[in-house]
Structure formats: C-alpha cells, structure tokens
Structure 1
Amino acid sequence: MGKVGPPITGLPVMPSDLPLDEVPEDVLREVLEEEKRIYRNRSYKKKPYPTSRDVMEAVREALRVSTRIHPDEFPDVVLHILESKGFEVRHVTVKRIWRAYETLVRKGVIRDELGVMM
C-alpha cells in the first residue's frame, strides 16, 4: 500500500485510510493497555444454572400465576420465571420442564391443571 497524500476534497484523512503497519509504537501500546483495562473491568459473575428444585419451584409458581394457560406456552412462562429469579436459562430444555411437571403430578404435589397427563 502506497503513501496517502493530502486529501483532494479538503476532507480530513480518515484513520481507515492510513496503513495499519505505520501506527506509532507508543500509540499501539497505549491502545492495547486501554483494551486490557476495559476488558479486565468487564469481568462479571456468571448467572447460576437452575437446579431441579429451582425448576420445580418455577413450575409450581407458573401454575399459580397463570391459571388458564395453554400447554404450548407453559415452558415459556417457566423460563421467564427462572430468568426473573436471576438464573441462566440457555440450557434449560422444554423436556426438563415437562419432566419436572410430570414428577410433581405423579408425586401428588400439584394437580394436572394443564390436562397433559394420561
């Protein structure tokens, strides 16, 4: 890449117009130190993953809050409750939610209010 001459149109030279291999060492060092400082301060605590007990409590709460809910919408309500309690729900599957629901119905903790059990 050749040298960039003065701007023809009278506009200032944009940084993207300059070749990257000609960045002064002190500027490069300063940018790298600033990036390191920013990313170090961004360290955050990960949200906890919900236990089976947490999922079961969310299922019970979803049934208490939403009395007339369609079974297709039920897992979304449970995920929303878990999220509002501060849990990471990316890996909580619909199958896990329904397994918790089935377990609670079979143990007699809740009634089959959704009518999905035989």
Structure 2
Amino acid sequence: MITYDDLTARTGRIESLLRDRLGLKHGSLGRRAARAGRRLPRAIRADLCRIGEAVQLSGHPRLRHASEGGEITAACERVEQHLAGIDVRDRRIGAALGLAAVIGFNLLVVAVLFIAVLRWRGLA
C-alpha cells in the first residue's frame, strides 16, 4: 500500500521531470500527458493518467484505499525511468535538423519548379 506522503513525493518528482524534460509546467498529470501527445509512448501516457487518478483518490479519506498500491508504484517507476532517459539537448538538435531538412527540401522544390517554368517558357 502506498501512503499519501509517498505518492505526493513521487508525483512531485514526476512533475519536475515533466517540467524539465518536456517543458510541461501547468495542469494535472492527466492533462500534461494529453499535452505531451506523441512525445510520450501510449503506455507512459496511460500510466500518468492512472497516477493522476490515484492522487485525486488519495485526497479523499474513504476512497484512498480504492487504488492498488503496487500498480501505482510500478507506474511511477516506469514513468520516472522513461522521463529520466529523455535527453533535452538531443531533442532540440533533432528538431532543428528536422526543420532545416524541411526548409532545404522546400527550397529545392521551388528551384526545380522555377527552372522548369523557365525552360517551358523558352527563357533558359
């Protein structure tokens, strides 16, 4: 059985990892999981939602025992392990390279179309 103090400590670590690694600063864990979208695997998003529900239930004295402690602990460990493995620098470099590739391809297409129009009009 996971205690309320343990759960709040774990969610605090998860929230700080979400803030540092993905830039998700506001909202509940379920909302942050939805905002993360494709940056997180489906299983990790489901674990975040499950943890968020457990946090809500743990605040209520009668519903506190409704969540499985072992399942929530395992979900917290999976989420923490995944978020700790995210390299922010690598994500930013990948995004910049992807943007540069898209811009380069678009410029190449425009140049080819421009040359094709010039040849079609007999100017080149």
Q: Which range, TM-score by smaller chain?
A: under 0.3
Q: Which has the higher helix share?
A: 2
TM-score computed with the length of structure 2 as normaliser: 0.25
TM-score (norm 1): 0.26
Look at both structures and tell me which one has the larger radius of gyration over its CA atoms.
1
